[in-house]
Structure 1
Amino acid sequence: MINILKSLITGLIASLAFEPIAIWVFAIIGLGLWYQLISKQHFKQRLQTSYLFGLGILLPTQMWTGIYVGNLPWLILCIAQACFFIIPAFFVGKAKKFNKITFICSYVIVELTLRTLPFTGFGWSRLAFSQVDSPLSSAYPLLGVAAVALFLAWFATVRNLKALFYPVLIIICANLIPNPVIFDGSIRIALVQGGVVNLGLNFNDKPKEVFLRHLTQTQNSILPNQVDLIVWPENAVDVDIFKNNDVMQAITDLSLELNTPILIGGVTNSPNPRNQSMLFDPNLKQVYTKRYLTPFGEYLPLRPLAEKLSPYAKQINDFEAGSNPVVFRIDNHEFRTLICYELLDDRFSVENDMDFLLVQTNNATFGDTAQLDQQLNLGKVRAAESSRHIGYVSTTGTTSFITSDGKIENQLDKFTPGTLLSTIDISSGSTYAQRYGWLIEPLVIMALLVLMIVRRWGSQ
């Protein structure tokens, strides 16, 4: 019983690195306590400790997933994902060689499995996402999120000042390496947070209500030629514009009246539902379809089983994923947008090499939970990783401008309609993380295999 409590508490400590607490050092403390426990245990104890450590992180961090659909889906998600945390138990143990290195490598693999398995993965609770405000943040543009996971685990194994020397030295050197991204020029952007009538799954019960809120907010807060681009969030247009000509015309007229391009977010049904970003300038000019769909939100894996477990499952229609990236163009500027859940996909980081980056999201379905701030933190990570300024716009909050080093420049209050205006820097070039960050995980896997072979030979 004592070991069970220790394991759960250790995971809970690590979870404090995430919002709403968001104190980054707890990730290192939690990982360090976990490593200390399993390095002294036998195999069965290590399995139990590691699984419970995973539960201790996942249960509080992902509690918002059950806010409107009930506790059962939340529990199933966390219970299943906690299995990934047992990976270090197979490589670290009592009287084993190379414990520190195998723990570091195996933890990187834990985060790899979280973001890729099952289905398209759900890497929301990767501890490497919690370090954007820590000294480790310099590793994001250098080698990416996987490298931050590696450094986190490395610091967690440190037991004396002498062992601290090398990881600290590397972090200091990382800060001294020149960033290949160049900043030249600027652009004026307006982010419109129009709000919704109801928080929850029924945020768009009244057709056109969300659209009218964003239309009115834009008309009342932005002057002609005041900005170079206006951005509405995901689902800001709550009806299919191709089946509602009046809505299509209203957006075109607004763009014409303000003499400004408008990027909107909406769902179309032609023939299957698609989550899309659409650029009006003043007519509909370009369309991007969300490629990385949310499991159990925009499509339902194991639908027959899910419908038995939750009465809300039948409300989920399977969306059609996009197949191609889109570069939006206005005047002399090029940019990309990520729609909500796409923030989680490390693969998209390579593409974030345009002038600036936008994130469009709809957080109304998660009410006033930690999800809002946790997702904004993901935006901060992607800004730091790509050295791009980000315009992060939500229906309900927290709409923000994020600097290229992952800091909040300014933001609107949650659940309050408003318009956020800012002049942001234009970037060109790719970070080292975008060029070489993909190598970290395969190299770690290879290193772990080599260590296992050497350990095997040494035991003979």
Structure 2
Amino acid sequence: MVAAPPTVVEDPTPVDGTPVLPTRVRRPLWRTAVAALGGLALFLAFPEHSLLPLAVVGPAALAVAVRGERLRSGLWLGLVFGLAFLLPLLSWTGIYVGAFPWLALSVYQSLFFAVLGGGLAVVSRSRWWPLWGAAVWVADEAVRSRWILGGFPWGRLGLSQTEGPFLSLAAYGGVPLVSFAIALTGGLLAAAVVALTGARRWTAPHGAGGRDALRGAALALAGVVAVPALGALAWLPLAGPSLTEGGPTSTVAVIQGNVPRAGLDFNAQRRAVLDNHVSTTLELADAVSRGEAAQPDMVIWPENSSDIDPYQNSDAAAAITRAAEAIGAPVLVGAVVEGPGRFISNTGIVWDPVTGPGQTYVKRHPVPLAEYIPARSFFRFFSDKVDLVTRDFTKGTRVGTLEMAGRQIGDVICFEVVYDGLVSDVVDAGAGMIVVQTNNATFGYTDESAQQLAMSRVRAVEYGRTVVVAATSGISAVVAPDGSVARQSELFTSDVFVEDIAQRDQRTVAERLDAWPEYLLTALGLGALLVPAVRRRRRTPAGPDGGGAVPA
């Protein structure tokens, strides 16, 4: 234990002996600035900026800001961090509906970061606080991913990594383990900064106290290097960038037909969108007949490629059938289907060139306030944009594993790729590759498409599967099992990919463990929060009645 510095410390010294600045000389504005800069740094780690090392700087800055602070201060600093991170990250949510939904979502999500900041402040006085702080990060992300209305996992630390040493850890513990590793590295970096700063405050920097602080800084910096080094080694047994290794191959065609224009009214041109995908598929069929493209075994269309219900509209059904017959392969169509009852369904339909529509998958997690409006009258009070959703989408009940050309594919629709359980379900059910049908036309030329593609790259590593992304207006892509992008389209263009893709059945450690890494790390974080409270309770002297101390 390091000897106490000569200045009077009004707050208790952390159990690891690192000196804390006296209350009278703390600089709350400085701490607020550090928290804000940390949030901005974390934003820059995400696509399109993709400055990946800044993902470590974000948690490090928040850890430094809350170090030695009380719970109330931690709540404020976490809120500042969250706002600085989420306001730019989620700016695409208000691109066509105005500032209010964007600000409301960003502020609401920032409340979870406020709780995170408070939790980090609580554990910052404990020994091994970088470890406990990393677990608290995972616990906070676990709650944010589930609550309220099914949660909103966008912006988790682990989803910032599209390459590099941390990404490999997705194959061993999913997104939670990647988040934990980033937060731990950031916490260790913060510990080194705190230790070096503390050493400068000792009256005898070359004495025992100074040497202990420098030794602590060196150990923390060793950890900063060791965690990503472990991640780099973890790549060795994992699948590489090949699309064709690891199982029998299927030739897959991805169709991006494009939309007439960006914005909320893209579906006002529903027939034009359908015709775009039909005509692009017919063009591919012509290229196949000329020997300029390989004959696909299956064709993937995106979400909303037919917003006309093909079960009820014979013209739409005939157009899809014409495309399927021309290409001579089943087509996975993204359609809006009437029913059940007053609802509509966001549906993937396997459309066979001979037998027509077959197996279907209905989106299991429609987006609240976008695909359905809970408590419509309440939210209308804040914005009349809720009435743009004239009919609510229903929730599907079955896992999105579909058979196409004798293969099992795992279909998730749009934002479902961000939810751990929905993706793991299709792989557990036997999917040899993962398909993400999406429509990003409502977000224009923003970072949303790139952020969503990054999630597909993490999923590819997590499950050792190729991920095929079919987007109405971009970004469509083919992602190899190591997370690298083999093919990628541009926004608001028409494009076609034809690739041979292995249908893999190998199981990663992450798939075998399922959600247990998140459960265990969450329990570790919650336990770290409870220990200081229990210790304070035990230190409280008993009053005459055997209870707590008698108030003054």
TM-score w.r.t. the length of structure 2 is 0.79
Alignment of 1:286-325 (within 5 A): 286-316=359-389, 317-325=391-399
Matches of 1:137 and 1:312, distance apart in 2: 38
The reply on whether 1:27 has 2:90 as its aligned counterpart is no
The reply on whether 1:38 has 2:56 as its aligned counterpart is no
Q: Deviation per CA, 1:380-404: give whole Å up to 9, x if none.
A: 1111111111111111111111101
Structure 2 residue aligned with 1:227, among 285, 290, 296?
296
Deviation, 1:333, is 1.3
Structure 2 residue aligned with 1:123, among 131, 135, 153?
153
CA contact (8 A) 2:250 2:500 kept: yes
Deviation, 1:318, is 1.2
Q: Deviation per CA, 1:76-125: give whole Å up to 9, x if none.
A: 11111111112342353564444222211111112112211211111111
Matches of 1:242 and 1:453, distance apart in 2: 56
User: What amino acid is aligned across from residue 234 of structure 1 in structure 2?
Assistant: E
Alignment of 1:375-394 (within 5 A): 375-394=452-471
Which runs of 5 or more residues in structure 2 are unaligned? 1-28, 193-219, 240-244, 540-552
Q: Which shifted more, 308-317 or 169-178?
A: 169-178
Deviation, 1:167, is 2.2
User: What amino acid is aligned across from residue 36 of structure 1 in structure 2?
Assistant: V
Deviation, 1:360, is 0.7
User: What amino acid is aligned across from residue 398 of structure 2 in structure 1?
Assistant: N
Pair 80,308 (structure 1): closer, same or farther in 2 beyond 3 Å:
same
Secondary structure of the equivalent of 1:328? strand
User: What amino acid is aligned across from residue 116 of structure 1 in structure 2?
Assistant: R
Structure 1 residue aligned with 2:405, among 331, 339, 350?
331
Structure 2 residue aligned with 1:425, among 492, 498, 502?
502
Pair 377,452 (structure 1): closer, same or farther in 2 beyond 3 Å:
closer
Deviation, 1:30, is 1.2
Matches of 1:111 and 1:74, distance apart in 2: 20
Matches of 1:67 and 1:351, distance apart in 2: 32
Matches of 1:326 and 1:392, distance apart in 2: 15
Secondary structure of the equivalent of 2:384? coil
Deviation, 1:445, is 2.9
Q: Deviation per CA, 1:47-76: give whole Å up to 9, x if none.
A: 111111011111000000011111011111
Structure 1 residue aligned with 2:321, among 252, 259, 279?
252
Matches of 1:258 and 1:409, distance apart in 2: 23
Matches of 2:442 and 2:323, distance apart in 1: 28
Q: Deviation per CA, 1:192-223: give whole Å up to 9, x if none.
A: 11111121110021341110111111111233
Alignment of 1:102-251 (within 5 A): 102-158=132-188, 159=192, 160-164=220-224, 166-168=226-228, 170-177=230-237, 183-222=246-285, 223=288, 226-251=295-320
CA contact (8 A) 2:330 2:405 kept: no
CA contact (8 A) 1:17 1:127 kept: no
Matches of 2:305 and 2:316, distance apart in 1: 12
The reply on whether 1:350 has 2:394 as its aligned counterpart is no
Matches of 1:347 and 1:105, distance apart in 2: 20
Pair 453,8 (structure 1): closer, same or farther in 2 beyond 3 Å:
closer
Matches of 2:111 and 2:331, distance apart in 1: 44
1:14 corresponds to: 42
Secondary structure of the equivalent of 1:401? strand
The reply on whether 1:279 has 2:350 as its aligned counterpart is yes
* Identity percentage of aligned residues: 28
CA contact (8 A) 2:119 2:529 kept: no
User: What amino acid is aligned across from residue 75 of structure 2 in structure 1?
Assistant: L
Matches of 2:173 and 2:305, distance apart in 1: 35
2:80 corresponds to: 52
Matches of 1:242 and 1:331, distance apart in 2: 22
Matches of 2:481 and 2:426, distance apart in 1: 12
Deviation, 1:418, is 1.9
CA contact (8 A) 2:284 2:327 kept: no
CA contact (8 A) 2:87 2:106 kept: yes
Alignment of 1:401-412 (within 5 A): 401-412=478-489
Matches of 1:193 and 1:168, distance apart in 2: 37
Structure 2 residue aligned with 1:263, among 320, 327, 332?
332
**What is the RMSD computed on CA atoms of the aligned residues?**
2.1
Matches of 1:148 and 1:86, distance apart in 2: 21
The reply on whether 1:84 has 2:112 as its aligned counterpart is yes
CA contact (8 A) 1:350 1:435 kept: no
Matches of 1:376 and 1:449, distance apart in 2: 32
Matches of 1:91 and 1:207, distance apart in 2: 49
User: What amino acid is aligned across from residue 277 of structure 2 in structure 1?
Assistant: H
The reply on whether 1:440 has 2:440 as its aligned counterpart is no
1:67 corresponds to: 95
Deviation, 1:258, is 2.3
CA contact (8 A) 2:132 2:528 kept: yes
Matches of 2:69 and 2:400, distance apart in 1: 51
CA contact (8 A) 2:66 2:77 kept: yes
Matches of 2:448 and 2:474, distance apart in 1: 11
Q: Which shifted more, 302-311 or 124-133?
A: 302-311
Matches of 1:74 and 1:216, distance apart in 2: 36
CA contact (8 A) 1:146 1:437 kept: no
The reply on whether 1:363 has 2:363 as its aligned counterpart is no
User: What amino acid is aligned across from residue 161 of structure 1 in structure 2?
Assistant: L
Deviation, 1:161, is 2.9
Q: Deviation per CA, 1:413-453: give whole Å up to 9, x if none.
A: 22111211111222113211111141122212322344455
TM-score w.r.t. the length of structure 1 is 0.95
User: Which of 1 and 2 has greater Rg?
Assistant: 2
Matches of 1:404 and 1:265, distance apart in 2: 24
Secondary structure of the equivalent of 2:69? coil
Secondary structure of the equivalent of 1:208? helix
